[in-house]
């Protein structure tokens, strides 16, 4: 598939866009890439997968009549009917369990949590009924289910609506955990998740839903799919590696721009897949730059950055020229007041400062 | 409720055509036939319904009740000016000037359906006639289950297996419910339903292999004893989590409905399981989604050491059905014929009308909760003994078989000897079989083994090679 070829090539070729240019000129289409919001990317991916496979169905609160709490499932009820777009009563534990049961018998449910904070109500079904079932049943029960919804901080929604669950879910064997950033990520990874025979936790971001990204023709193709377990090098660099996922990828890219003006070339890795983690890409990058900054929005202790740091220390210790810098959210439940909230999540300046520290350049 | 229904209402004609599950549409139903058989404000006890009438009475009613209400927005009833009734969201409700609370507990508890009395004589004629060969298989399987339970329990006490749960006292629930289903019906067990798997053809040897967690265990040594599972027998693998199987059964029933299959799902759980959030969500969903599921509660009086009086204050579990809009029945769980009939008709209703049915089978947990429990610590031994002897479901069914002329006393000792021999043999064989290979540590985590596990297996094998004395086999 072109999408995958481009992905593999990108990690070898010096810059992905030159290949993309090449592909574009080969086709007879116009050379200006289309813009697509992440919301539309997710909606179109759901639509196409539901169209291609009658076993795929969507279930969650407000997904039908309301068109989705964040309009991700807009238009699906009208197109596919209430048997395939199911509005549920308020019980995450209930509909997650029911989704798992439907998957046990062969349907492919896409369960929406209004936010992943509410998934805590259903976490027993996600872990004990979905993640572990294939193993516990010795391969007799496969659970091709996708749990998706917004994850992490939004804006002014307080402690119970702002937690990032990447680290919790990614620690569990049997689950796959994906975190898209761009519209291309959203389309490719959601399609991959729906087609995957294993249970997948798909962590979106509310603030990214409205953001537009360029999408090429092959991304728009209904067969487009991204591989699970491969990170993407969003920006090549040689002085310091910055790993990030979801919204933080955008922040890292902004920081890289600022760093470039100060003569520091930062390589930004969009993880895309938290479990399985693309340790190979991360280590290859660190062996090139010799410095690492991990970036995430979630709580610092036992976070994704801790795992990345450990893997680099285990595999590429001799290559490190500086201690690993971890940037994360503050170790407090998310406050509401805008100024406090701003201080509780990483900002671009934090990333710039950390990168400079890693390069032994005090700011 | 009415708002939701009206939106789904326009899709109902599609549903009916698409799934074709309705077999009989009876247009001559009167609206009072619904209410006279169910709880009324003033009549808390459920009147017994002649069983043969049930399919006729209710086969169409289900869809009729969920048609969109044409007077959704109107304040008055048709025929102008009935201020006694208001069309609230959820439907029309009659007003009353009486300040009356519904009772917390009925004057008379819901009656319990029973066909065989204590001496094995049938009472009444409202039950499904069972063929001789089915009845004999039922009895043989009940005895085999009893024997298997006794001997495996002993094996745990001797330290040969680490853990076991018996179904002592619940043999009728296990076997009779299984006998009333077909192999296409999906079973979502809790952990006291090994008899259902036995009925379906899982061999004693296979049970033993699982309990010993050896390399022939079709569960690949992944789980504790008694956590059986077999796709071949449509019996979903037992999980230790309480009541999680209930919403699973509802979800799978939804799959069956989408498939248009002539099959239902059945799920078993205890009195304790009904306290969980999963029970509530599953019952509610099953009713709203209209799926073919039988929810069978084995109310055996005890959840480990918690008696039902500490578990809930309702009239048992059967009354919870109506709270969710689910048809329900209370049945004597120690009466194999009654259990058979109840499950037989529940299955018919579930499939033909695509709706859930709740069965509360009253029984007694004659054994301990598991081998990790000594129930004499929290209940009198005389009570346990009484239920074990006087209400023994196996003995009661045998008396009926003897009355039919289908079972001789000589056959009894023969059967028991045979069952005992087979179980002992299975244990002896399973005990000697090797444990699963190292590779089984790493398979089935995902559909395709991930690279990190492939690496880990490789490095583990290298370690085993280098230090063989540290790894016994």
Measured between CB atoms, does A91 come within 8 Å of chain B? yes
pLDDT band at B20 (very low <50, low <70, confident <90, very high): very low
Instruction: Report how far residue A19's alpha carbon sits from residue B249's, in angstroms, rounded to the nearest whole number.
Output: 50
pLDDT band at B49 (very low <50, low <70, confident <90, very high): very low
Supply B58's token pair: 């209710």
pLDDT band at B180 (very low <50, low <70, confident <90, very high): very high
Asked if A97 and B244 come within 8 Å (Cβ–Cβ), the reply is: yes
Residue B129 has pLDDT above 80, yes or no: yes
Whether A232-359 and A35-220 are alike in CATH topology: the answer is yes
Q: Tokens 């089935």 label which residue?
A: B444
Q: What is the pLDDT of residue A33?
A: 76
Q: What percent of chain A has pLDDT over 90?
A: 89
Alpha-carbon gap: B175 to the closest alpha carbon of chain A (Å): 23
Q: What is the pLDDT of residue B13?
A: 40
Q: With 0-12 CB in 10 A as exposed, 13-18 as middle and 19+ as buried, what is A314? A: exposed
Asked if B445 and A174 come within 8 Å (Cβ–Cβ), the reply is: yes
Which of A105, A125, A135 lies nearest to residue B445, judging by beta carbons? A135
Q: Which of B229, B246, B6, B128 lies closest to A140, judged by CA? A: B229
pLDDT tens, position by position, A240-288:
999 999 999 999 999 999 999 999 999 999 999 999 999 999 999 999 9
Asked if B445 and A124 come within 8 Å (Cβ–Cβ), the reply is: no
Q: What is the pLDDT of residue A361?
A: 83
Residue B345 has pLDDT above 80, yes or no: yes
Which of A102, A135, A198 lies nearest to residue B222, judging by beta carbons? A135
Which of B3, B233, B255 best probes binding to A when mutated, by most A CB atoms within 10 angstroms?
Answer: B255
Asked if B281 and A89 come within 8 Å (Cβ–Cβ), the reply is: yes
Peptide bond before residue A276 is cis, with ω within 30 degrees of 0: yes
Residue B68 has pLDDT above 90, yes or no: no
Measured between CB atoms, does A81 come within 8 Å of chain B? yes
pLDDT tens, position by position, A90-112:
899 999 999 999 999 989 999 99
Supply B52's token pair: 């043969």
Instruction: Report how far residue A284's alpha carbon sits from residue A19's, in angstroms, rounded to the nearest whole number.
Output: 21
Q: For residue A128, give the DSSP letter.
A: I
Which residues pair with residue B362 across a beta bridge?
Answer: B299, B332
Helix (H) or strand (E) holding B254: helix B245-259
Q: Which residues of A touch B254 (CB under 8 A)?
A: 98, 101-102, 107
Contact A99, A109 (CB under 8 A): yes
Contact A217, A27 (CB under 8 A): yes
Q: Which residues of B touch A282 (CB under 8 A)?
A: none
Q: What is the mean pLDDT of residues B84-104?
A: 95
CATH code given to domain A232-359: 3.40.50.920
Helix (H) or strand (E) holding A201: strand A200-204
- φ, ψ for residue A128, nearest 5 deg: -75, -30
Which of B281, B455, B457 best probes binding to A when mutated, by most A CB atoms within 10 angstroms?
Answer: B281
Which of A57, A97, A279 lies nearest to residue B248, judging by beta carbons? A97
Alpha-carbon gap: B286 to the closest alpha carbon of chain A (Å): 9
DSSP for B346-408 reads HHHHHHHHT--EEEEEE----S-SSTT--GGGTS-HHHHHHHHHHT-HHHHHHHHHHHHT---
Q: Which of B234, B224, B244 lies closest to B165, judged by CA? A: B224
Q: Is B328 helix (H, G, I), strand (E, B) or coil?
A: strand
Conformational region of residue A327, where left means phi above 0, alpha means psi within -120 to 50, and beta covers everything else: beta
Tally Cβ neighbours within 10 Å of residue B328.
24
Question: Searching chain B, which residue's CA lies closest to the CA of residue A80?
Answer: B11
Q: What is the pLDDT of residue B67?
A: 46
Q: Give, in degrees to the nearest 5, the angle at Cα B244 between B240 and B245.
A: 90
Measure CA of the first residue to CA of the last residue in chain A; give whole Å.
45
Residues 133-172 of A with CB under 8 A from B: 133-142
Question: Catalytic site residue A92?
Answer: yes
Tally Cβ neighbours within 10 Å of residue A331.
9
Residue A213 has pLDDT above 80, yes or no: yes
Which of B324, B444, B445, B457 best probes binding to A when mutated, by most A CB atoms within 10 angstroms?
Answer: B444
Residue A113 has pLDDT above 70, yes or no: yes
Q: What is the pLDDT of residue B47?
A: 42
Q: Tokens 């600022």 label which residue?
A: A258
Q: Tokens 């209710």 label which residue?
A: B58
Alpha-carbon gap: B251 to the closest alpha carbon of chain A (Å): 4
Sorted by where each begins, the domain ranges of chain A are: 35-220, 232-359
Question: Searching chain A, which residue's CA lies closest to the CA of residue B452?
Answer: A276
Instruction: Report how far residue A340's alpha carbon sits from residue A342's, in angstroms, rounded to the nearest whole number.
Output: 5
What distances in angstroms separate CA B240 from CA A66, A291, B186, B193, B280, one per listed residue?
Answer: 37, 46, 19, 13, 19
pLDDT band at B12 (very low <50, low <70, confident <90, very high): very low
Q: Which residues of B touch A56 (CB under 8 A)?
A: none
Supply A176's token pair: 């796959």
Supply A359's token pair: 């390069």
Q: Tokens 């919870």 label which residue?
A: B320
Instruction: Report how far residue A101's alpha carbon sits from residue B186's, in angstroms, rounded to the nearest whole number.
Output: 11
Q: Tokens 């009333």 label which residue?
A: B180
Q: What is the pLDDT of residue A31?
A: 52
Residue B472 has pLDDT above 60, yes or no: yes
Instruction: Report how far residue A69's alpha carbon sits from residue A60's, in angstroms, rounded to the nearest whole number.
Output: 10
Residue A73 has pLDDT above 90, yes or no: yes
Contact A210, A168 (CB under 8 A): no
Q: What is the pLDDT of residue B60?
A: 38
Instruction: Report how far residue B210's alpha carbon sits from residue B430's, in angstroms, rounded to the nearest whole number.
Output: 9
pLDDT tens, position by position, B373-428:
999 999 999 999 999 999 999 999 999 999 999 999 899 999 999 999 999 999 99
Contact B201, B231 (CB under 8 A): no
Q: What is the pLDDT of residue B28?
A: 38
pTM of the full predicted structure? 0.83
Instruction: Round the average pLDDT of chain A to a whole number and report it.
Output: 92
Q: Would you identify the CATH topology of the domain A35-220? A: Rossmann fold (3.40.50)
Q: What is the pLDDT of residue B81?
A: 53
Measured between CB atoms, does A60 come within 8 Å of chain B? no
Q: In terms of pLDDT, which residue wins out, A18 or B409? A: B409
Contact A228, A189 (CB under 8 A): yes
DSSP for A297-335 reads SS-STT-HHHHHHHHHHHHHGGG-SSPPEEE---SSPPP
Contacts of B448 (CB under 8 A, 6+ apart): none
pLDDT tens, position by position, B155-174:
999 999 999 999 999 999 99
Give the catalytic positions of B in this structure: 154, 240, 369-370
Instruction: Report how far residue B92's alpha carbon sits from residue B82's, in angstroms, rounded to the nearest whole number.
Output: 11
Residue A233 has pLDDT above 60, yes or no: yes
Q: What is the pLDDT of residue B473?
A: 57
Asked if A276 and B450 come within 8 Å (Cβ–Cβ), the reply is: yes
pLDDT band at B82 (very low <50, low <70, confident <90, very high): low
Question: Searching chain B, which residue's CA lies closest to the CA of residue A228?
Answer: B450
pLDDT band at B31 (very low <50, low <70, confident <90, very high): very low
Asked if B239 and A105 come within 8 Å (Cβ–Cβ), the reply is: no
Which residues pair with residue A212 across a beta bridge?
Answer: A37
Supply A67's token pair: 């068109």
pLDDT tens, position by position, A20-41:
444 444 444 455 679 999 999 9
Instruction: Choose the weakest-confidence range: A88-102, A116-130, B62-76, B247-261.
Output: B62-76
């Amino acid at each position: 598939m072109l999408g995958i070829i481009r992905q593999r090539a990108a990690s070898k070729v010096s810059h992905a866009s030159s290949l993309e240019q090449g592909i574009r000129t080969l086709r007879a289409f116009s050379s200006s890439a289309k813009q697509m919001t992440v919301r539309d990317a997710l909606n179109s991916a759901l639509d196409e997968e539901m169209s291609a496979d009658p076993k795929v169905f969507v279930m969650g609160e407000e997904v039908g009549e309301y068109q989705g709490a964040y309009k991700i499932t807009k238009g699906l009820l009208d197109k596919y009917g209430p048997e395939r777009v199911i509005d549920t009563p308020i019980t995450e534990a209930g509909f997650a369990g029911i989704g798992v049961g439907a998957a046990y018998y062969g349907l492919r449910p896409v369960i929406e949590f209004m936010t992943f904070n509410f998934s805590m109500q259903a976490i027993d079904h996600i872990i004990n009924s979905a993640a572990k079932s294939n193993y516990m049943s010795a391969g007799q029960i496969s659970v091709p289910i996708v749990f998706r919804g917004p994850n992490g901080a939004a804006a002014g929604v307080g402690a119970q609506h702002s937690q990032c669950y990447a680290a919790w879910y990614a620690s569990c064997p049997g689950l796959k955990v994906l975190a898209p950033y761009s519209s291309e990520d959203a389309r490719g990874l959601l399609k991959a998740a729906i087609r995957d025979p294993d249970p997948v936790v798909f962590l979106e971001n509310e603030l990214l839903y409205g953001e537009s990204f360029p999408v090429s023709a092959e991304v728009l193709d209904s067969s487009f799919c991204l591989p699970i377990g491969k990170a993407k090098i969003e920006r090549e660099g040689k002085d310091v590696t910055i790993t990030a996922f979801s919204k933080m990828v955008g922040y890292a890219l902004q920081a890289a721009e600022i760093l470039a003006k100060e003569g520091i070339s930062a390589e930004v890795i969009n993880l895309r897949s938290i479990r399985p983690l693309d340790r190979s890409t991360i280590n290859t990058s660190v062996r090139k730059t010799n410095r690492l900054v991990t970036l995430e929005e979630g709580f610092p202790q036992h976070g994704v950055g801790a795992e990345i740091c450990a893997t680099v220390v285990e595999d590429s210790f001799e290559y490190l020229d500086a201690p690993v810098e971890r940037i994360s959210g503050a170790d407090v439940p998310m406050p509401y007041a805008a100024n406090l909230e701003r201080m509780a999540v990483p900002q671009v300046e934090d990333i710039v400062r950390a990168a400079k520290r890693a390069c032994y350049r005090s700011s | 409720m009415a708002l939701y229904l009206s939106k789904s209402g326009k899709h109902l004609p599609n549903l009916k055509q698409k799934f074709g599950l309705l077999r009989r549409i009876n247009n001559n139903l009167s609206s009072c036939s619904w209410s006279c058989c169910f709880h009324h404000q003033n009549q808390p006890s459920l009147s017994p319904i002649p069983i043969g009438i049930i399919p006729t009475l209710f086969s169409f009613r289900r869809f009729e009740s969920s048609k969109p209400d044409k007077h959704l927005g109107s304040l008055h009833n048709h025929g102008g000016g009935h201020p006694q009734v208001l069309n609230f969201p959820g439907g029309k409700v009659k007003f009353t000037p009486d300040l009356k609370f519904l009772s917390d507990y009925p004057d008379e508890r819901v009656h319990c359906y029973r066909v065989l009395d204590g001496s094995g004589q049938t009472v009444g004629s409202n039950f499904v006639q069972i063929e001789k060969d089915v009845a004999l298989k039922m009895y043989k399987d009940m005895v085999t289950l009893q024997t298997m339970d006794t001997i495996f329990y002993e094996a745990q006490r001797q330290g040969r297996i680490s853990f076991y749960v018996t179904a002592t006292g619940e043999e009728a629930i296990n076997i009779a419910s299984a006998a009333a289903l077909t192999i296409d019906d999906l079973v979502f067990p809790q952990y006291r339903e090994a008899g259902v798997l036995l009925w379906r053809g899982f061999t004693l040897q296979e049970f033993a292999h699982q309990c010993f967690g050896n390399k022939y265990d079709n569960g690949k040594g992944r789980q504790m004893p008694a956590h059986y599972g077999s796709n071949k027998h449509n019996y979903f693998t037992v999980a230790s989590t309480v009541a999680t199987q209930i919403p699973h059964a509802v979800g799978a029933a939804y799959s069956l409905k989408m498939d248009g299959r002539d099959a239902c799902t059945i799920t078993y759980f205890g009195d304790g399981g009904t306290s969980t959030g999963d029970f509530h969500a599953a019952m509610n969903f099953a009713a709203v989604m209209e799926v073919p599921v039988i929810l069978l509660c084995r109310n055996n009086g005890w959840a480990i050491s918690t008696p039902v009086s500490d578990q809930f204050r309702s009239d048992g579990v059967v009354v919870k059905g109506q709270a969710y809009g689910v048809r329900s029945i209370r049945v004597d769980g120690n009466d194999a014929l009654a259990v058979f009939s109840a499950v037989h008709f529940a299955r018919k209703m579930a499939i033909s009308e695509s709706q859930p049915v709740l069965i509360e089978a009253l029984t007694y947990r004659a054994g301990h909760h598991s081998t990790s429990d000594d129930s004499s610590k929290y209940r009198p031994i005389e009570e346990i003994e009484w239920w074990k002897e006087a209400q023994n479901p196996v003995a009661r069914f045998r008396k009926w078989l003897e009355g039919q002329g289908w079972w001789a006393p000589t056959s009894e000792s023969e059967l028991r000897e045979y069952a005992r021999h087979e179980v002992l043999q299975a244990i002896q064989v399973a005990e000697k079989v090797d444990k699963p290979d190292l590779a089984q540590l790493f398979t089935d985590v995902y559909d395709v083994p991930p690279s990190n596990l492939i690496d880990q297996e490789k490095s583990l094998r290298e370690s085993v090679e280098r230090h063989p004395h540290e790894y016994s086999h």
